[in-house]
Structure 1
Amino acid sequence: MKELKKSTTVAPTGQPRSGEMQGRDPGLVHTSVWRVSVESMRIPTRSDVTTRHLLIRPISALALLAAGALALAGCASGAGQDAVAVAVDEAIADSGLDGGGWGVLAVDRETGEIVYELNSTIPFVPGSVQKSFTTSAALEILGAESTITTPVYGTGVISADGVLEGDLVLAGRGDFSFGLRDQPDGTLEITSFDHNEANSGLVAVGLNTGDPLAALRGLAEQLVAAGVTSVAGQVLVDDTYFDPQMDWPDGRIDAIWVNENLVDLVITPGELGAAPEVRMIPGLDGLALVNEVETIEGDVVDVDVEMSGSTVTATGTIGIDAGEVVRNTEVDDPAAFARMAFAQVLTAAGITIDGGGTGMLPSAYDEPIAQWESAPIWQLARVVQKMSYNRGADLLACLIAVEGGSTSCVDGVAAVADYTASVGVPTEGLRLYDPAGSNDYNRTSAVLQVALMRQAAAAQYGELFVDIQPVAGIDGSLSGTGAGTSAEGMIQAKTGSRVVWYPTTGQFFELAQAYSGYMTTDSGRDLVFAILFNSTLVDDVPGVLDVSAKVAEVMFALQREG
C-alpha cells in the first residue's frame, strides 16, 4: 500500500542559514574501534550569513561521458590545462599525504572536456560522497515533489457520542522528520551540530527548534475535529511498511520515527559530587530516567546513555565547568516508543484510551481518519546531503525498496545500483554495501562519481540536486571550508570521510576523505569534479582535521585555476 504522493511541479529552494554536521558515533573514550565522519569535526562558523549569488548554473541536458574515454584521455594540452595540472599537482605534493592514494577528475560541465585527471578509474573507499547515489535515485524513483502520508486508522466506527469502537492505529510510512524539522514554509530545518552528533563529544550541539511530538499533536487535533472523544480499544503502531533494517552501520531503521528515534538528555552540571540536572526530550510520562552521572572537577564530559524497554539510564561523569551538554540514545523499539508518545498526546488532547480489544493489527484498513503530510522528498534528500545524515540516507533506500514492491531495505540499495546503470553511469568497480557510505567495503572511483554528478545535474530534477549540496563556506558539511576565500559560495559538493581508531599504534586511520560535486572557477568555468583520497595515519583529532583541510586544498586549486 503506497503512501507517497507525487507532483510534477518543482518548487524553488533557498539557502539555509547555518552550518551543520552529521555523525552518530559513540564517544572517543568508550570505543575500541571509533568511527566518525570528518564532516562531524569541522569548526563552527557564524550562524547567520548572506549568500552571494552562486554562479553554478543548471543545464537542461548533457551527454554522459564514457568511462573509457575518461580513463584514456588524460589532461588536455594547452596553457590553461597546464596551469591546472601544476596547481593541483603542487597541492597534492604539498599535502604531505605521500602514503595514501589519490583519485581525481574534473571535467567541464557543459562540454565534458577533461580539465584534470589522476587515477580516475581506480576504486576508492568513498565515505559519504556515496550518499549522492542514494539521493539522486530517490529524487527520480520516488519523485522529487512526492510527499509521505502517515495515516491514522480506526478499526471500528465512531459512535454518535464520539467513541471509536475499536483500536486506533498509527501507520508508519518512513517520514524521518515527522514534525521535528517541519517549518511553516514547507521546508525542513537544517541545524548546526544537532542531536545526531551529540555522542561524538567533539563539539557542543544544540537541539532542533521544532517540537518532536508536532506530528502526533497534529494528528490528535484532526481526531478531535473528527469528533473522537475516546477509544474503546488500544493505541497501536503499524511498523510493517518495510522490514526493520538492523544490519547497516548506522543503527536501526524503521518505518515509524519520533524525534528521529532518539531520546535526548540535556545535562547541566550540579554541585561537586552530586548528580547533574537532566532534562529528557521528548518528555514522556511512560519513560523512566535513571541518573547515575556524577559532577566532577574540570570540563570533561564522559557520559553514556542507554535505553532498555521504557528505562533510560545515564552513567558517567560531567565536569562542573562543562556547561550544558546533550547526550542521547537510539530508541530500541521505535513502534513502542511511538505508541507511548501518541497515547500521551491523545490524552492531553482530551481523548481517553479505554484499552479494550485484542490489540492486534488488522489485515486491511478503510480510509484514514487523520493523516500527516511530510515535506517533499527533495527536502528529505536535502537534509541527507547538507548534513550528511546517515540514517536519513538509509531510510530513503528503504522507501525505494517499497516503491519497487519489496519490504527489504537491501533491495533498495540494489535498486539504487540498477538505477545508476540504467541512466548510463558506468558501474564497473562500483560497490554499494549500504546507502550512506558508512560501510568500509563500499567502493567508487572518480570517474564514476563525476559521471553520476553530471547525470544527476542533467536530469529533470537536476537544479534541485545541485542546490541540495553543501555550499563551501556557507552551509552543511562545507560551512567551515573555504569561508573568506574565492571558493566561498562557488563550490557545491558532497563531502565524505571514514576514520577508524587503529589500536596497533594508538593512532587514527583515515580511510577516506572525499569531495564530489560542482564548482564555478575563478575564470567563470563550470566544472563537475571528484577528489578521493584514501589511507593515512594521524596521531589525534587535530590531525584528522588537518587531512580534511589538505584534501580541500586540492579542491581549492581546481577552483582557482580550472
Structure 2
Amino acid sequence: MNATSDRKHTSWSIIAAALMLVSCGGSDHPDTAVPNAITQIMQKPAYANATWAMQVVDLDTGRVIYDLSSGSQVFIASVRKLFSTGNALDILGSQYKHVTPVYKQGTVDANGVLTGNLIMVASGDLTMGGRANADGTIALSAFDHNEADGLGNAVLTAPDPLAGFDALAAQVAAAGIKTVNGDVVIDDRLFDAFPFREETGFNVTPMLVNDDAVDISFSSSADGAVLPFTYRPVSAAFSVQSTLKTDSTTTDFAVELTPDATQNEVPQCFGQSNCSGAVSGTVPTVMQPPLTNAYPLIRTFRVSAPSIYARTVFIEALARVGVTVSAAAVGTNDERSLPAQGSYSSAQQVAQLTSAPYAQDIRFVNKVSYNIGADVTLMLYGLAKNGSRTMATSLATEQQELSTTFKITPDQYHFIDGSGGGDTTAKPTAVITLLRGMRLMPDYTTYVDSLPFLGVDGSLTTVTNFEADPTLAGAKGKVYAKTGTYVGLSTTTPAVPLLKAQALAGYVDAKSGHRLAFFLSVNNVAFEGFDTVLNAFQDEGMIAAQIWKLQ
C-alpha cells in the first residue's frame, strides 16, 4: 500500500484482559429494567408489531444499567461500521495518509515528449482531494450526496471534486512533460474489485472519483417549465440530459433517472462516446424539495467504471495545464499494459497526491454513513493486517480479530460487507463489547470524534427536537453514536415493505458525569413512507437524550 504512517499497534492483550473483567449479559442483572420515560416511546402505535433491543453499560465499570433483549440477534444496518472503522483505525492509525503516485513509463526527450504511458496507482484514497477544505479537513454536509436518490435530496459540499486530479496534472507539467505520446492508465490492483450491495454492474475499486457519483443539481422554474440544471464533475466521460418539469397539479417529487440505481441499474457505457444518463418526470411547482426545503434538488448517477472514468478526467486535467495526450480521452483503461504490481521505480515518479490524515477518512465514513467508504475501509484493514485482497478474506481477518482481541465470537454477529448491507445482524452485547474495548485503543478519542454528535453534525444533525422537552436539551452534543437504517421486504406472502432496522449505538456523556456505552434498535416497523424512517430517527434520538438525562 502507498501510505505514510508512524503507527505503533495497540497491545491488545490489555484490551482482552479488560473485557474479561465484566459480563454484559442482561440475564445476570435483574435490576436493569428500561425506565418508563423510554418504554413510553417504544410503545407508540407505530411500533405495535416491531421489536426493540437495548443495552446501556457504564463504560468504566461495565455495570449494566438498562437491558432489553440484549442477547438476541437483531438487524443493525450501518451500526456495523463501528466495527470496520474501529479495527482499521487501530491498525492504520489516525495519522496514516494515502499516497497516490503517478509514474512515467518511458523516456522524456528535450522537448518534453514522453514516449510511453503515464500511470496513476490507486491507493484507496476515499476523496482524491475532492472534499478538501482549506484547513485540511474533509468537507461534509448534513445530507450527503451518496444518499440523495434514497432520501430525496442532498446538500453538496463546496470543494471541487476534481481538485486532486488537477493537482496531480500540475505536478506532471512541472516535471517537464508537455506531451504524452502514449496513454494514461489507472493501476487499480491494490485489492480485488468487489460488487457493491445490490447495484448490479458496479464493482468497488481502490480508485474513486467524487465518491463514484455524478451529481445533478436542479434549480427551480416556472410552472410547466424544464428545471435548469448543472452536473458535476463535468467530463466527456459522462453527460446528463433532463426533461424534468414543474407541474402545479402534483405534490409528488416524481424524479426518474435512466438508468436508475434505486432499481439496481447503473450506467454501463463508460469508455464509450456519448455516454450519458437521463432525468425525467415532474416536481411540484409550489412545494420545496424534501429534507432541505429549498432548491437545489440533488440527484446522482453511479460511476460504475471508476478507473475508466478516472482515466478520462485525468487526461482532461492534463489538458487544462497544457499537457497533451495522444490517446483519446474517452476510452477504456488499458490494464494489460501495466508493469508487474509493485515494480515501479521512484526514479519514474512524476507526481503524487497525499491525503488528509486517516482520522478524516474515518470521520467521513461515520458522520455521513458512507457505505462505499466503509467497504473500502474494511479492505484497507485486511490489506494492512495480513495482506487480504478480497472482501471474503478481509471479513475472515476481521472475524479473527474480533474473536482474539474483543472475545466477540462469530455466533454473535453476521456481517456481509464492511458497511452493513442487507441482513447484517449482531447481538447488542457484541456491539457493547466492541465499544468498551475501543476505549483502550490509542486513537479512541479520534474514534469517538468520528461519530455523529446528537443535534450537532452528521446523520444526527436534525434528529432531536429539544423544544418538545427542554429538560433534554443538555443532551445536545453529549451523545456520540452511529446510526443505521435498513428498509427491506418482509418474509410474508405477499411481501410488504418494512423498516427492518433503525439502530443507534455509541457513547453518552451522561448528566451524572459518567460515560456510557449504549446500543438501541427497533426491527420490523411497518413502513409507510420516508416519514417512518424520520420518526424512528427522532424517537431513538429522544431515547438517547433520556439516557443522558436519567444517568
TM-score, normalization by structure 1: 0.83
> Aligned-pair distance for 1:507?
5.8
Do the aligned partners of 1:75 and 1:115 also contact (CA within 8 Å) in 2?
A: no
The match for 2:507 is 518
Aligned-partner residue type, residue 530 of structure 1: F
Alignment match of 2:550 (pick from 537, 543, 561): 561
> Aligned-pair distance for 1:501?
5.3
Matched, 1:366 2:345: yes
C-alpha distance in structure 1 between counterparts of 2:236 and 2:77, whole Å: 40
C-alpha distance in structure 2 between counterparts of 1:87 and 1:483, whole Å: 16
Q: Secondary structure at the match of 1:135?
A: helix
C-alpha distance in structure 2 between counterparts of 1:305 and 1:194, whole Å: 21
> Aligned-pair distance for 1:277?
2.9
Pairing of 1:419-438 with structure 2 (within 5 A)? 419-427=401-409, 428-438=411-421
Aligned-partner residue type, residue 216 of structure 1: F
Aligned CA distance change for structure 1 residues 480 and 507 (closer, same or farther; 3 Å): farther
The higher relative CO (CA closer than 8 Å, separation ≥ 6) is in 1
Do the aligned partners of 2:124 and 2:380 also contact (CA within 8 Å) in 1?
A: yes
Matched, 1:329 2:310: no
Do the aligned partners of 1:67 and 1:426 also contact (CA within 8 Å) in 2?
A: no
Q: What percent of counterpart residues are identical?
A: 28
Q: Secondary structure at the match of 1:212?
A: coil
Aligned CA distance change for structure 1 residues 424 and 91 (closer, same or farther; 3 Å): same
Aligned length: 505
Pairing of 1:65-84 with structure 2 (within 5 A)? 70-76=25-31
Alignment match of 1:439 (pick from 393, 400, 422): 422
CA deviation map 1:312-361 (0-9, x unaligned): 121322335565322111112111111110001101101111239x9722
> Aligned-pair distance for 1:392?
0.8
The match for 1:488 is 476
The match for 1:302 is 255
CA deviation map 1:252-296 (0-9, x unaligned): 311111111111222335566654433221111343444444554
Aligned CA distance change for structure 1 residues 397 and 382 (closer, same or farther; 3 Å): same
C-alpha distance in structure 2 between counterparts of 1:87 and 1:65, whole Å: 32
Alignment match of 2:89 (pick from 139, 144, 149): 139
Bigger mean CA deviation after superposition, 377-386 or 98-107? 98-107
Do the aligned partners of 2:78 and 2:421 also contact (CA within 8 Å) in 1?
A: yes
Pairing of 1:22-61 with structure 2 (within 5 A)? none
Do the aligned partners of 1:190 and 1:387 also contact (CA within 8 Å) in 2?
A: yes
Bigger mean CA deviation after superposition, 288-297 or 473-482? 288-297
C-alpha distance in structure 2 between counterparts of 1:288 and 1:561, whole Å: 54
Aligned CA distance change for structure 1 residues 186 and 418 (closer, same or farther; 3 Å): farther
Matched, 1:257 2:208: yes
The match for 2:315 is 343
Aligned CA distance change for structure 1 residues 469 and 165 (closer, same or farther; 3 Å): same
Do the aligned partners of 1:178 and 1:215 also contact (CA within 8 Å) in 2?
A: yes
Pairing of 1:102-121 with structure 2 (within 5 A)? 102-121=52-71
The match for 1:165 is 115
Pairing of 1:150-299 with structure 2 (within 5 A)? 150-200=100-150, 202=152, 204-249=153-198, 252-268=203-219, 275-297=226-248, 298=250
Aligned-partner residue type, residue 371 of structure 2: N
Structure 1 spans left out of the alignment, 5+ residues: 11-58
Alignment match of 1:376 (pick from 347, 357, 360): 357
> Aligned-pair distance for 1:191?
1.1
Aligned-partner residue type, residue 27 of structure 2: L
C-alpha distance in structure 1 between counterparts of 2:529 and 2:140, whole Å: 29
Aligned-partner residue type, residue 242 of structure 1: F
Bigger mean CA deviation after superposition, 507-516 or 63-72? 63-72
CA deviation map 1:369-405 (0-9, x unaligned): 1110111222111111111111110111122233222
Give the CA RMSD over aligned residues: 2.8
Aligned CA distance change for structure 1 residues 528 and 302 (closer, same or farther; 3 Å): same
The match for 1:353 is 325
C-alpha distance in structure 2 between counterparts of 1:259 and 1:149, whole Å: 17
CA deviation map 1:26-66 (0-9, x unaligned): xxxxxxxxxxxxxxxxxxxxxxxxxxxxxxxxx99982156
The match for 2:383 is 402
Aligned CA distance change for structure 1 residues 216 and 385 (closer, same or farther; 3 Å): same
TM-score, normalization by structure 2: 0.84
